[in-house]
Structure 1
């Protein structure tokens, strides 16, 4: 006898079959459909106390959903949703009735299905809604069963099973209500019950079955009359002691068992069987009522849910959850055996550009092919998981010496770097950066190992990408320093630790300084002057760059006014980070800063990078048009380092073009670089722009640029960046 046969605990079921018996009693007693559905809602709310249950019913014309039951929802919401149309994208319930599938909206405020109904949802403070269509025997929609929450909520596996069972119960009530219109109540309960039912005598011999039983098992009344329920079990031992259990079962209780059953055609299925007994006044058993439900589909759903909980749907690789589970086992086994193992994190380089330039479908296809290549490289003996986005993990639990591991990683990098053939892109190339952490030297917990491998990935990317790096204690120190800098950088602007340094820009024709470029510096009270390459990237990564960008513009505008007070009309250029551009109101904010400062807007120059043009062309054009309308000038920085053709330049209102330093370096001895510089200068002039060469450090470079017709230069030949006092002295001397 199994444990499930020995004792039945209804709390272990999603919705116990004893609840069905309760609903049967309500129907027999003549309870109306609204009362029955209300009782169903309360039943579900008892199971999930923080949910608000609701039933909507199909209208007579089949085009709308009307109120069925919602005992805990406010009347204003009930009135507003009553009569909602069925359609794709019409809230949760309208969409569920349209598609015939479960619709899960975890956050009403931010989901497109609910945009027209956000105000209505607000009347009940509703933040999440999961809706399951109620389908009849013919798979026609009868209505919807919904579970609302007053906070954003995602369902777990039990929640999904609960709403499926609730819809089945609602279907039972609705179909029973329809059956009442045509025949006597007592007979139709059995006839229309959406599950099999057997009636036995006091000896547990079957005396009657309902149509659903015949449809489910293939056995007619004549086939099964006089036999015992035990004949259904695929393994007779499963119900070996059912009689003993029923003899001890009180009238008001039921006992449920899950068995492997066999149909008349010998097909095996999983069945849930609920036994209850009817006793006479003396307590003797007169009859037994047995409900049987085919739960094979639910079992398959549970298996699917289990799969989704542990595997990535896109690549079919283990997901983060299963990866961590296997890593836990590896830690336990390797600690016991005193053996090391390796954790690899692999991150694709420039994957965002694939999504941005070719769409997410291309990105998804590339991820699938990458997963396949990783499986080819590392084989089935190692765990290969997708952690999310373009990040993968590999657990190599078999002992590996460093030399062999390095050969494996080199093969992996070469395999990943081979061209991909995507539907949208015939020859797509990408590389990867790999971080390595080793148990137990680099960490003895999942968190420590993942953190170490992650830091190693950053080191690989800093080394030029398309390579691998092993974790070192120095990486941990670097990460701690970065974390400390992050905390201190948050207060740098407010505590007046930032300052502007200025690099002059010289007009080659007049030999006069005509503009300054403002460069932010961080003068830390304890660490001294911190190099920009240490904190600018950190500021961009953490979002602090927006606050710093605002401070830089504010300081530059004040310096413009200070110069004017001394009779110097000097434009100042400030750099705009790509990370700042995610502020959709950035142009308005810049214009408001200029207006509030009282400075001449023509003296402020906004420098943007070429990559910003490429990634956000429509948004960038709108941004630049707003600045030009205010007479704020725009310069294009680092020109020539982007990935696009030069033709897009004509579409943007840019005043100045800055040639990147990489073109100026060794220009004088390299005819190809000279040709490129010539082309950029000619292109800029053809489009009505002034051309500025950056990074000029030698007199020969200056002379060559002057011969080529370049307008301006900046660089160490003229001056290093100078603080406020030094730049004012410099301008007086020049």
Structure 2
């Protein structure tokens, strides 16, 4: 069978490729637009894109057919031509839908490629069948054309996804390159399919229905129309993209604004020029307690009605200024729907459109807690947290104001410094918790006894208070005020099921006689107060110039005391403890003295209180303990009697957390056996049973002896003798002094001796000075004594020669 020779118009072939490439570029651009479109518009873009893509592919195919030159004219079946167009459009719709639904899945992409390839191949061969001429196909080339169609379909899908994933700049280059490649693939598929076709002239039937087309001009017309359509489509897409970007930008900005509005922690009301609330965020509802639905569309007066009544007039004025374009900030208080007050910080921010104010934002922040915290911090800056009294800072300010007020007429007023005498002992013994309770009670008593509008009580720190009497000296009786405070403080205080007693020392200074500035007045009142402490406490004293010299002397003594340990100025004297019925020394008590380089030998009463105040008592106590143990060990080694040495423990030493370790270290260092050390403690140290029991039991287990000093003078409790491992009770010298003439003292001493004997404790009386005192005590059953009757405290070498080494055993 003879086949018809066919050729192609190269210009039309080029046009078919250009249309294929332009269509591919347009489709790639359109695919990105479909991906960006909202769901409501996506189907419109799919339909438009599938028509544009289908017409482009079909135009490239049909121009390629018209580019075919046969030796005979060929008619075309227009229905089949239209059917090929429909197939091309449907295939394009499938392709775009695949791109939209399956962005990255390889399996979905390959499946979509099969459908698109089938549509392109179907469009091609349906279009070929529209030619009213016999056509025979070579199977190999047909398969090749379908493979090319499949490759073109997959490439189209892949390039579309790639173009959508890239940035604008990258996407443009990808779409251009993709359009050229995809156009070549589409054209290649067509011309491969044309290569598969063999035209048979014998099968050209004149009676077949169809239309003979003017190939050349029709091809140019279709090419031109299609290129114009594609060009207009690209312009339309570009314009649409610009509008879309604008809409997207507006939408994003709106979402940002809405998110800021809805999630802002500050309450926001939008108010228009008609004074209507047109917008409310959740925070505004939370701050006011009024739901958004109720606030919305209400008049501004509805909101102003929850503002405190005294602020409403000011708020109207501020809103007027805001509607005039002014940015306004202020604070006010509103009444929450639950009834409590809410402090808010408000900003009125005018809203302007085209230079005209159209409303205002009311931005309110709840500052209730911040304001309370600020007030609390301000309060704490000027008040004592424990007692609620003014602190030192506030007292100094008030004192400066009083000086300024009284300076003009030189009117005098008073300043008092108060100190609780027994607080340190209570605080050390019972702990800080009970010490704080005690301070609160005492401060309350003082305040209730004397404070009025002209008297200010302040806590300067610890147990030290100050009183400012702002009326003149003529109008006040300082003596009455001081006595009222002392009477209030000395009342018994019930704590931990016991009664405690405290006293107070008061120093008084007057402006302007004793100082014309706060520092000098307080210093002089403080000096007068220390004079009271020195003379027995529980009293008041007015400052005098004579006290200045004493103050300077005290300050000098404090400075010397700090260096005394370093200079090895302390010495120990020893007082013998004698058993009368045996005429034998049963122990010695170590008593510290200060060998001052200028003042000579100073007794403990001069420097021990200073050492306690200055925090040196622990260090000094350790030195005394170490030196006493060393000395007693040396006497033992020299052949002296094996008797113990008694050492007083201070309250601060007793409450050291490592007391037992310290003492055992000193004993090991000195070589003295524990049974030859006797520690003298006072009743006040044992008021905290939990601590005292643990400490005393630990000491007693080592063999150290415990002696209860000054028994009967403090917070006496028989439970001490029953609960704690106490070996000896010492009768205080205050009961011995008048025992000859005072039957009450004799009764007390007799009771102590009897109690100790029944509890199988040793008892010793101190302060024995006369034979009469000794006789009475012997009659009451006491056998051990200590006092000037036997010997005053002696230096180590003297007591050794007189009492210890004289009893040396051979």
Q: Structure 1-normalised TM-score?
A: 0.64
Aligned-partner Cα distance in 2 for 1:557–1:472: 46
Residues 451 and 376 (structure 1), Cα distance of their counterparts in 2 relative to 1, 3 Å cut = same
**Superposition RMSD on alpha carbons, in Å?**
4.0
2:657 to 584, 594, 610: 584
SS of residue matched to 1:234: helix
Mapped contact 1:230–1:239 kept (Cα < 8 A): no
2:545 to 465, 473, 490: 473
Any unmatched runs of 5+ in structure 1?
1-182, 247-254
> Is 1:209 the equivalent of 2:209?
no
Mapped contact 2:323–2:359 kept (Cα < 8 A): no
Larger helix percent? 2
- The residue correspondences of 1:546-695 to structure 2 (distance < 5 A) are 546-571=618-643, 572-612=645-685, 614-695=686-767
CA positional deviation for 1:497: 0.9
Residues 261 and 504 (structure 1), Cα distance of their counterparts in 2 relative to 1, 3 Å cut = closer
SS of residue matched to 1:521: strand
Residues 220 and 492 (structure 1), Cα distance of their counterparts in 2 relative to 1, 3 Å cut = closer
- The residue correspondences of 1:333-732 to structure 2 (distance < 5 A) are 333-351=405-423, 364=437, 367=440, 371=444, 374-375=447-448, 377-388=450-461, 390-401=463-474, 404-417=477-490, 431-571=503-643, 572-612=645-685, 614-731=686-803, 732=805
How many residue pairs get aligned? The number is 540
Aligned-partner Cα distance in 2 for 1:329–1:363: 31
Aligned to 1:195: 266
CA positional deviation for 1:238: 3.3
Aligned-partner Cα distance in 2 for 1:721–1:276: 88
CA positional deviation for 1:259: 4.8
The farther-off stretch of 432-441 and 577-586 is 432-441
Aligned to 1:237: 317
Residues 240 and 268 (structure 1), Cα distance of their counterparts in 2 relative to 1, 3 Å cut = farther
Mapped contact 1:506–1:512 kept (Cα < 8 A): yes
Aligned-partner Cα distance in 2 for 1:633–1:418: 36
Residues 43-65 of structure 1: per-residue CA shift (max 9 Å, x gap) = xxxxxxxxxxxxxxxxxxxxxxx
Residues 279 and 658 (structure 1), Cα distance of their counterparts in 2 relative to 1, 3 Å cut = same
Mapped contact 2:753–2:781 kept (Cα < 8 A): yes
Higher RCO (CA-CA < 8 Å; seq separation 6+): 2
Residues 550-586 of structure 1: per-residue CA shift (max 9 Å, x gap) = 2112222222232123211343222111221121111
Any unmatched runs of 5+ in structure 2?
1-253
Aligned-partner Cα distance in 2 for 1:639–1:268: 61
Mapped contact 1:351–1:363 kept (Cα < 8 A): no
CA positional deviation for 1:499: 1.0
CA positional deviation for 1:702: 2.1
Residues 240 and 477 (structure 1), Cα distance of their counterparts in 2 relative to 1, 3 Å cut = farther
Mapped contact 1:205–1:227 kept (Cα < 8 A): no
Q: Structure 2-normalised TM-score?
A: 0.59
Residues 56-101 of structure 1: per-residue CA shift (max 9 Å, x gap) = xxxxxxxxxxxxxxxxxxxxxxxxxxxxxxxxxxxxxxxxxxxxxx
Aligned-partner Cα distance in 2 for 1:499–1:264: 75
Larger Rg: 2
CA positional deviation for 1:505: 1.5
The farther-off stretch of 705-714 and 263-272 is 263-272
Residues 490 and 595 (structure 1), Cα distance of their counterparts in 2 relative to 1, 3 Å cut = same
